[in-house]
Amino acid sequence: MNPDFLKPYDHSQEKEIYTRWEQSGYFSPQKSIGNWKLGTENFSIIMPPPNANGSLHVGHAVMVAIEDVLIRYWRMRGKKTLWLPGADHAGFETQVVFEKKLEKEGTSRFEILQKENGREELYKRIWDFTQENKAHMEHQVRQLGASCDWSKETFTLDKRIIDVVYDTFQQLYADGLVYRGKKAVNWCPKHQTTLSDLEVRYEEREDPLYYVKYGPITLATVRLETKFGDTAIAVHPTDARYKDVIGKEIEVEAIAGKTKIKVIADEHVDSAFGTGAVKVTPAHDADDFAIWLRHKDEIEGPKEIIDAWGRMSLKQYFGKNAEVMKYDGLKIAEARKQIAHDMQEKGLIEKVDEHYKHNVALCYKCGSVLEPRVLAQWFVDLTTSKGQEKIVQPAIDAVKSKQIKIIPEFQEKIFLHWMENIRDWNISRQIVWGIPIPAWFRETKAGAISNFQFPISNENAEIHIGKEKPQGEGWVQETDVFDTWFSSGQWPYATLLAQSGISNFQFPISNEGNRDKNLFDEFYPTSVMETAYDILFFWVARMIMLGLYRTGKVPFETVYLHGLVRDKDKQKMSKSKGNVVDPLGIVEQYGADALRMALIVGNSAGQDVTFAEEKIKGYRNFSNKLWNIARFVLAQNSISNFQFPISSEFSSILSEDKKILERAKGVKQQVGEYIENYRFSQAAEIAYHYVWHEFADKIIEEKKKILQDTNENKEQKESAKIVLYLLLVESLKILHPFMPFVTEAIYQRLPIKNKDSLIIESWE
């Protein structure tokens, strides 16, 4: 027997085992090696690319654990498996992380941008930052035992990926499904960029609600400071209180002196709220912007009186009015306070409801109050009949028809509800870190852009889509970059195309050329998309929409959504709370096998899982248990000359032992069925239970008696030795998808002459 077995299982050998696996080439579906023949059926997973802006957390470990179970299982079942790893540049998220770093250094992105070539410098620095993180992350994924094909690792900023993304953008533009439009969008005054609707976090706040006198009308508002941007007062068309003033201009006594303002009727005004009258500030409120769009002919458009930094900017409209100009440059909150005070003194405020509760829109990253602004941005059309027909509906149909199966099923309802109420998707970001939007602008109205600033509205410029500067004079390049989800939303087909080396592709992708290298043709649609449920809309929905739009096929057949990992107090793990667990520390202490088991047992689809160190300890003990089972079984002499493959048709096995063997096969089949049905927790649990409490506690104990009893007959002893050995091999197979290291470590010490590696052993 191998002398290693005399000591407890030492998980520090995981690293060497991984290196051997990686070097063996078995992670790749590219070619058969030795006795190992690639299967004909495919099984593929595109790994959700972790953000290259920090370390992996235990959530990633859940992802790796589950996906590796699937991949290892199907590989042992003889399928040709592709698990493609990647890393995400994670645009805005990464820039936010990097800006925090800059803050610590006492500088900021804006300071760097002011320098000559500042943009390039900043980009370069973030690039280096992500490359460092990426390398660390890859190391972590390896430590967790992921049997993914590193030769096909893809970064979201790889040139070929960008090509695919550009091609899609061009296609969308050509189809009229992407447009540049001036709309009320979410603006983060700290980060100086717009955000999509999904990146807005709402929080209930208590603020004063001011009842303000606008001449004969009193109306309620929280945002007193926006009054300088008012262009109308709106009431419900059937509101009897205001029927005489609808359509008229009323005279208003205000801080600015006497002014006139128009009263309009709009169905969206709720007569029951406040006084039933609402001020209309198109530049600083999304609803008001919508009202203006409906009344364009009657009232003035957006009057921007708050700047990008969230300060009052009144010069343009009130430059000569000292009463008003004293607020100029104040932050919103301060301005509101002063204006309230001044108006109260002048008797312009009827009353104040000090404890009015309402939802405030915040930046999901920094918590700054988002300022609605009217800006020209790039949008994917998801609301017109064209956008609905070409992008939205196919995605809905694919899920409804079960062409894409979502696990757990209840997430389907959530998905469909979101899809059915989807809004246009703002894909422009005013940041440096990301894929530049390939567009050029040129002013069409002479002198319209004397004070040239992005963004430019459609009316003032013509647009050219493409990487290269078009012919002619006056073209200026777009500076916005894509929302990171616009590129990751294309991940399944983009990675497969990029790794296939297909350039100038056209959909549908042809089978021409080297079919072996055409991963797209081979593996698209992929089998499973496994990710956390919190990015169902951000990512999964976008992949389904863009995948169907671009390729005409679903990007994956099954979506498996795992829950979030919470700490033992059920708190969501986050850096700011300081409760983040580094998987590396756990792996070093207890081994990757133990961590993986702990994250899989008790983890059902879509349900959050709590992280408890005791649990990991328990499975570390199990690793050792298995090790000792092997130690005992291999210590029985005469087990030294098995040939591969191992057959159970030994004539010397007694019928009672054949039954035991059948039972093990039954467990194995059950484990397989559970895996195939995405019930990993049960699969792992019955495997665990069988090995420890049946094989070790019962069978070994019984056979031990037989083997140690000098009176028992020889056939019974021989049979016992063989069956114990076969059960050990079965146990290794059953557990391998869950605990790849310890099972491989034992397998490598089995007395099989022509053995290779457990990862390519046949499951059967």
Nearer to RNA, 130 or 531 (CB): 531
| Geometric angle at alpha carbon 629, from 627 and 630, rounded to 5° | 65
Does position 286 interact with RNA (CB under 7 A)? The reply is: yes
Which ranges in 298-376 belong to alpha helices (H)?
Answer: 315-318, 322-325, 332-345
Partners of residue 528 on adjacent β-strands: 45, 558
Nearer to RNA, 146 or 235 (CB): 235
Among positions 399-428, residues that touch RNA (CB under 7 A) are: 408, 410, 413-414, 417-418, 421, 423
Taking CB under 7 A as the rule, which mask of x and - marks residues 533-552 in contact with RNA? -x--x---------------
Does position 629 interact with RNA (CB under 7 A)? The reply is: yes
Does position 376 interact with RNA (CB under 7 A)? The reply is: no
CA distance 456 to 126: 27
- What is the total residue count of the chain? 764
Among positions 250-269, residues that touch RNA (CB under 7 A) are: 268-269
CB of 623 to RNA, least distance (A): 6
Strands (DSSP E) found in 27-136: 42-46, 80-84, 86-87
User: Residue from 9, 169, 378, 738 that binds RNA (CB under 7 A)?
Assistant: 9
Does position 623 interact with RNA (CB under 7 A)? The reply is: yes
Beta carbons within 8 Å of 376's beta carbon, 6+ residues apart: 180, 181, 182, 455, 456, 457, 458
Residue 246 belongs to what H/E stretch?
none
Beta carbons within 8 Å of 717's beta carbon, 6+ residues apart: 706, 707
CB of 294 to RNA, least distance (A): 11
Does position 593 interact with RNA (CB under 7 A)? The reply is: no
The answer to whether 460 touches 453, Cβ cutoff 8 Å, is: no
CB of 725 to RNA, least distance (A): 14
The number of beta carbons lying within 10 Å of the beta carbon of residue 462 is 15
Q: Which stretch binds RNA (CB under 7 A): 347-355, 388-396, 543-551, 623-631?
A: 623-631
Side chain identity at 39, as an amino acid letter? G
Closest by CA position to 586, among listed 565, 554, 617:
617
CB of 722 to RNA, least distance (A): 17
Closest by CA position to 431, among listed 53, 54, 51, 94:
94
Q: Which stretch binds RNA (CB under 7 A): 112-120, 329-337, 491-499, 621-629?
A: 621-629
Q: Which stretch binds RNA (CB under 7 A): 221-229, 308-316, 724-732, 739-747?
A: 221-229
Does position 276 interact with RNA (CB under 7 A)? The reply is: yes
Closest by CA position to 186, among listed 399, 50, 360, 27:
360
Does position 568 interact with RNA (CB under 7 A)? The reply is: yes
Partners of residue 465 on adjacent β-strands: 439
Nearer to RNA, 438 or 740 (CB): 740
User: Residue from 113, 222, 246, 369 that binds RNA (CB under 7 A)?
Assistant: 222
The answer to whether 339 touches 255, Cβ cutoff 8 Å, is: yes
Closest by CA position to 692, among listed 616, 613, 624:
624
User: Residue from 13, 30, 589, 628 that binds RNA (CB under 7 A)?
Assistant: 628
Q: Which stretch binds RNA (CB under 7 A): 121-129, 286-294, 482-490, 665-673?
A: 286-294
CB of 244 to RNA, least distance (A): 19
Closest by CA position to 188, among listed 368, 330, 454:
368
Nearer to RNA, 141 or 219 (CB): 219
| Geometric angle at alpha carbon 52, from 308 and 501, rounded to 5° | 110
CB of 181 to RNA, least distance (A): 17
Among positions 423-452, residues that touch RNA (CB under 7 A) are: 423
Does position 663 interact with RNA (CB under 7 A)? The reply is: no
Among positions 332-361, residues that touch RNA (CB under 7 A) are: 358-359
Does position 208 interact with RNA (CB under 7 A)? The reply is: no
Locate 36 and state its tokens. Answer: 């190992």
Does position 134 interact with RNA (CB under 7 A)? The reply is: no
Nearer to RNA, 358 or 753 (CB): 358
Size of the site for RNA (CB under 7 A): 76
CB of 264 to RNA, least distance (A): 13
Nearer to RNA, 168 or 221 (CB): 221
The answer to whether 434 touches 157, Cβ cutoff 8 Å, is: no
Partners of residue 200 on adjacent β-strands: 363
Residue 465 belongs to what H/E stretch?
strand 461-465
In three-state secondary structure terms, 502 is: coil
The answer to whether 262 touches 268, Cβ cutoff 8 Å, is: no
CB of 601 to RNA, least distance (A): 6
Q: Which stretch binds RNA (CB under 7 A): 85-93, 631-639, 641-649, 745-753?
A: 631-639
Among positions 515-534, residues that touch RNA (CB under 7 A) are: 534
Among positions 687-716, residues that touch RNA (CB under 7 A) are: 688-689, 692, 696-697, 700-701, 704
Does position 579 interact with RNA (CB under 7 A)? The reply is: no
User: Residue from 93, 371, 483, 685 that binds RNA (CB under 7 A)?
Assistant: 685
Treating both helix axes as pointing N-terminal to C-terminal, what angle do 613-635 and 714-735 enclose, rounded to 10 degrees? 150
The number of beta carbons lying within 10 Å of the beta carbon of residue 354 is 10
User: Residue from 20, 223, 337, 665 that binds RNA (CB under 7 A)?
Assistant: 223
Closest by CA position to 52, among listed 125, 160, 120, 129:
129
Does position 273 interact with RNA (CB under 7 A)? The reply is: yes
Locate 516 and state its tokens. Answer: 């072996």
Beta carbons within 8 Å of 650's beta carbon, 6+ residues apart: 722
Nearer to RNA, 106 or 578 (CB): 578
User: Residue from 612, 644, 662, 762 that binds RNA (CB under 7 A)?
Assistant: 612
Does position 325 interact with RNA (CB under 7 A)? The reply is: no
Q: Which stretch binds RNA (CB under 7 A): 49-57, 213-221, 311-319, 439-447?
A: 213-221
